[in-house]
Chains A and B, each alone.
Chain A
Amino acid sequence: MIEQDSIESTRLSRVAAMAGTGVRIGVNYLKHYGRRAVGSASDSDVLQEANAKAVYDTFSRLKGGPLKLAQMLSIDRNLLPPAYAAQFAKAQYSAPPLSYPLVVRTFRREFGKEPSEIFTSFSKNAAHGASIGQVHRASKEGRDYAVKVQYPGVADSLRTDISVLKPIALSLLGLKERDVAEYLAEIEVRLLEETDYALELRRSMQLSSQSAQLKNVRFATYYPEWSSARILTMDWVDGMTLDKFADGPASQAERNAVGQALWDFYEHQVHVLRVFHADPHPGNFLVKEGQLWVLDFGCTKALEETFYRKQFRFLDPTLAEDPFRFNAALAALSIVLPEDGPEKRARIVALCARSIRLLATPFWSDSFDFGDPAFLQAIYEMGEANAREQQSADLKGRRGSADSVYVHRAYFGLYSLLSRLRARIDVSLPEWIKSGT
């Protein structure tokens, strides 16, 4: 048994696994054409669904970089055909568990001490997985701690995975690298940042102290003395994850309070701090005694002033009424391009006007009821319709700003969490938009 060979062959067998997907897609197409040949009704949606399933199965077997990459691509529904996006949205990345001796080794290397020398108790098995490591429960002097330990070399393997598999993944998904290069670069940067716990610690402490005044929003205390690039220690919070709370028997008043806390937290981050928690996954929020606890600042995104103005100008309800200003705003974000002909431009402008009118609805009244299922339904339908229109009118390609990826992700995430909560939210637009400056 010579282990280097098995590491080498791991990469090979990954490529083989990917090739397997190619074959299965081919088979699905054959079935499709076969059905057409015998004259039965063939539905290209069914076909795409089957292909998406095959690609997804392959990616989830691979885990690590490729799955994360696919998941990130699925954030922006414009980047992936809808059937693929739906499959990847299901993905829940989990790293293989670290053995306890490796946790001890990591502790020794980072702090020169073993977990048992720092804490009075330390769970040998992980309490739960984190995206690129795992969380152990520890205690000391009557206090409970959550200690996140990272898998060794995870940044390295993420980088190799992405570079080796990117071309294959793109061709399987039918995307052109030049069209999505900017998005991929943005996604890679964020993914690699997630592997730096020292950065996460700084951001967590900063964001939580700058948001401490928000009503009903709580943050765990972080412990820099027991944190490093590979280990992150914070208070253990016993609470209900946001999705469990939303699906449970909570009263309307409790739902509104938690929903409002979530909304206020995002508004404060985006419009005041200009840096936001870009991973609004229900597992990253806990509800305890009617308050919202925010966890996991691994993925945050900063907004530069110029981009912020360009992006959030669309919240101005008068903008879409003024074709000249609206056109200029779209051009500023490179959504319409100088080389677009008048007909193409008109289609894009109409499509954007439609989308924005729907997406910005919650901002344009004093309060908005996310409990109305028609709203999210309308968003999904619009997403599908836009995707079809984009295909047919050849509006694909390099449009929009890569910075928008995480803004979209955050707001789609926020809307779907609030809908799940069925919360009614009080809203007010930022001052600069109201005054029209």
Chain B
Amino acid sequence: METRERIRSAFGEHLREHGRPPETVFAFCKQIEIPERDFFREFASFDAVESDYWEHLVSSVVGAVEGGSEWKEFNARQRLLSFLYAFCEASLDHRSLMLSRLGPLGPLAKPNFLKGFERSFRVFAKGVLEHGMSGGEVAERGRLAGLYPDALYTHFRSVVDFNLKDDSINYERTDAFIEKTVAVAFDLIRTQVVDSALDLARFLIPCRDRNPA
């Protein structure tokens, strides 16, 4: 496990400094003084390392908010908001990297190096939605409800995107963006509008990245 962490952080360091992955795995291993075999035992590619890096960022924020003293009293909406605010706060430590890696992408892009990022957010979102359903905040809508995590992930990516482009003092516009969009999302999630909208979205969003179930 220690090698894994070492690779992840050295890789993050390299990305931040150079704005792109190392030339080869061999060069990278030489730089951090580990045999190539150790690298490939942990990761299949640089994309896999980067994916792990972002996954780690999301899951550490999730861990921090879930450990908060008031978490248990929060409803689904407050849980989602807490995560988004905490993520924006935490992302200040990774902002230059996010600017170079995520900045050029649109919120709908699904590159391989963000697989872990998405996976770990979805796990969190699923928990929030289940909490919302048990509290009556989120309506159970059968197959359509299965698209809520998609919508929440796209929303999360737009928040990140908005934050990266935000030049207001203290990123206050991002705060307002989060506040307003989450309000709209939870208002929609209670009405029939969302059924039709999600149905349309499912029709429009290309399926190539989704595994046929």
Considering the complex, which residues of chain B in the window 73-111 have a beta carbon less than 8 Å from any beta carbon of chain A?
A: 73-74, 77-78, 81-82, 85-86, 89, 107-108
B70 adjacent to chain A (CB < 8 Å): yes
Question: Is chain B's interface secondary structure helix, strand, loop, or mixed overall?
Answer: helix
- Chain B CB count within 10 A is highest, among A101, A104, A109, for A101
- Taking a contact as CB atoms under 8 Å apart, the answer to whether B162 and A3 are in contact is yes
A38 adjacent to chain B (CB < 8 Å): no
Q: Which of A18-26, A148-156, A264-272 is the contact stretch?
A: A148-156
B175 adjacent to chain A (CB < 8 Å): yes
Partner of B89, one of A7, A108, A114: A108
- Taking a contact as CB atoms under 8 Å apart, the answer to whether B172 and A152 are in contact is yes
Whole-angstrom distance between the alpha carbons of A114 and B173 in the complex?
A: 21
Partner of A152, one of B68, B74, B161, B175: B175
A37 adjacent to chain B (CB < 8 Å): no
Q: A34: which B residues are within 8 A, CB to CB? A: none
Whole-angstrom distance between the alpha carbons of A109 and B73 in the complex?
A: 22
Considering the complex, which residues of chain A in the window 96-147 have a beta carbon less than 8 Å from any beta carbon of chain B?
A: 96, 98-102, 104-106, 108-109, 114, 116, 124
- Taking a contact as CB atoms under 8 Å apart, the answer to whether A99 and B162 are in contact is no
B181 adjacent to chain A (CB < 8 Å): yes
Q: Which residue of B lies closest to A122 (CB)?
A: B70
A41 adjacent to chain B (CB < 8 Å): no
- Taking a contact as CB atoms under 8 Å apart, the answer to whether B81 and A3 are in contact is no
- Taking a contact as CB atoms under 8 Å apart, the answer to whether B155 and A3 are in contact is yes
Q: Which residue of A lies closest to B175 (CB)?
A: A152
A189 adjacent to chain B (CB < 8 Å): no
- Chain A CB count within 10 A is highest, among B85, B89, B151, B180, for B85
Q: Which residue of B lies closest to A151 (CB)?
A: B176
Give B205 Cβ to nearest chain A Cβ, in Å.
Answer: 11
- Taking a contact as CB atoms under 8 Å apart, the answer to whether A99 and B172 are in contact is no
| Mask: chain A, 1-32; 1 = CB below 8 Å from B; 0 = not | 11110110000000000000000000000000
Whole-angstrom distance between the alpha carbons of A108 and B92 in the complex?
A: 14
- Taking a contact as CB atoms under 8 Å apart, the answer to whether B81 and A4 are in contact is no
Q: Which residue of A lies closest to B184 (CB)?
A: A6
* Size class of the A contact interface (CB-based, 8 Å): 20 to 34
Partner of B176, one of A1, A6, A101, A152: A152
- Taking a contact as CB atoms under 8 Å apart, the answer to whether A1 and B179 are in contact is no
B183 adjacent to chain A (CB < 8 Å): yes
| Mask: chain B, 170-200; 1 = CB below 8 Å from A; 0 = not | 1011011111111111000000000001000
Considering the complex, which residues of chain B in the window 139-186 have a beta carbon less than 8 Å from any beta carbon of chain A?
A: 151, 154-155, 158-159, 161-162, 168, 170, 172-173, 175-185
- Taking a contact as CB atoms under 8 Å apart, the answer to whether B181 and A3 are in contact is yes
Whole-angstrom distance between the alpha carbons of A98 and B154 in the complex?
A: 23
Q: B180: which A residues are within 8 A, CB to CB? A: 7
Q: B211: which A residues are within 8 A, CB to CB? A: none
- Taking a contact as CB atoms under 8 Å apart, the answer to whether B172 and A4 are in contact is no
Q: A100: which B residues are within 8 A, CB to CB? A: 74, 78
- Taking a contact as CB atoms under 8 Å apart, the answer to whether A104 and B179 are in contact is no
- Taking a contact as CB atoms under 8 Å apart, the answer to whether A1 and B173 are in contact is no
- Taking a contact as CB atoms under 8 Å apart, the answer to whether B172 and A153 are in contact is yes
| A101-B175 contact given A3-B162, A96-B183, CB 8 Å threshold | no
Whole-angstrom distance between the alpha carbons of A152 and B159 in the complex?
A: 16
A157 adjacent to chain B (CB < 8 Å): yes
- Taking a contact as CB atoms under 8 Å apart, the answer to whether B179 and A102 are in contact is yes
Whole-angstrom distance between the alpha carbons of A98 and B86 in the complex?
A: 16
Whole-angstrom distance between the alpha carbons of A300 and B175 in the complex?
A: 29
Partner of A7, one of B172, B177, B182: B177
- Taking a contact as CB atoms under 8 Å apart, the answer to whether B81 and A101 are in contact is yes
- Taking a contact as CB atoms under 8 Å apart, the answer to whether B176 and A157 are in contact is yes
Whole-angstrom distance between the alpha carbons of A3 and B107 in the complex?
A: 10
Q: Which residue of B lies closest to A99 (CB)?
A: B81
- Taking a contact as CB atoms under 8 Å apart, the answer to whether B69 and A6 are in contact is no
- Taking a contact as CB atoms under 8 Å apart, the answer to whether B89 and A105 are in contact is yes
Partner of B181, one of A6, A101, A102: A6
Give A103 Cβ to nearest chain B Cβ, in Å.
Answer: 10
Whole-angstrom distance between the alpha carbons of A152 and B181 in the complex?
A: 14
- Taking a contact as CB atoms under 8 Å apart, the answer to whether B69 and A116 are in contact is yes
Q: B77: which A residues are within 8 A, CB to CB? A: 99
Q: B133: which A residues are within 8 A, CB to CB? A: none
Q: Which residue of A lies closest to B181 (CB)?
A: A3
Q: B177: which A residues are within 8 A, CB to CB? A: 3, 7
Give A156 Cβ to nearest chain B Cβ, in Å.
Answer: 6
Q: A151: which B residues are within 8 A, CB to CB? A: 176
- Taking a contact as CB atoms under 8 Å apart, the answer to whether A3 and B158 are in contact is yes
- Taking a contact as CB atoms under 8 Å apart, the answer to whether B85 and A101 are in contact is yes
B201 adjacent to chain A (CB < 8 Å): yes
- Taking a contact as CB atoms under 8 Å apart, the answer to whether A2 and B173 are in contact is no
Q: Which residue of B lies closest to A108 (CB)?
A: B89
- Taking a contact as CB atoms under 8 Å apart, the answer to whether B173 and A153 are in contact is yes
Give B155 Cβ to nearest chain A Cβ, in Å.
Answer: 7
- Taking a contact as CB atoms under 8 Å apart, the answer to whether B155 and A153 are in contact is no
Q: A106: which B residues are within 8 A, CB to CB? A: 175
Q: Which residue of B lies closest to A101 (CB)?
A: B81
- Taking a contact as CB atoms under 8 Å apart, the answer to whether B162 and A104 are in contact is no
- Taking a contact as CB atoms under 8 Å apart, the answer to whether B82 and A101 are in contact is yes
Q: Which residue of A lies closest to B82 (CB)?
A: A101
Q: B68: which A residues are within 8 A, CB to CB? A: 114
- Taking a contact as CB atoms under 8 Å apart, the answer to whether A99 and B78 are in contact is yes
- Taking a contact as CB atoms under 8 Å apart, the answer to whether A1 and B81 are in contact is no
Give A160 Cβ to nearest chain B Cβ, in Å.
Answer: 11
Jot down 13 A-B pairs with beta carbons below 8 A, ordered by A.
Answer: A1-B151, A1-B197, A3-B159, A101-B85, A102-B81, A102-B175, A104-B85, A106-B175, A114-B68, A151-B176, A152-B172, A152-B176, A156-B172
* Other 17 A-B pairs with CB < 8 A, given A99-B179, A99-B182, A104-B85: A1-B155, A1-B185, A3-B177, A6-B184, A7-B177, A99-B81, A100-B78, A104-B82, A105-B85, A105-B175, A114-B69, A116-B70, A152-B172, A152-B173, A152-B175, A152-B176, A153-B175
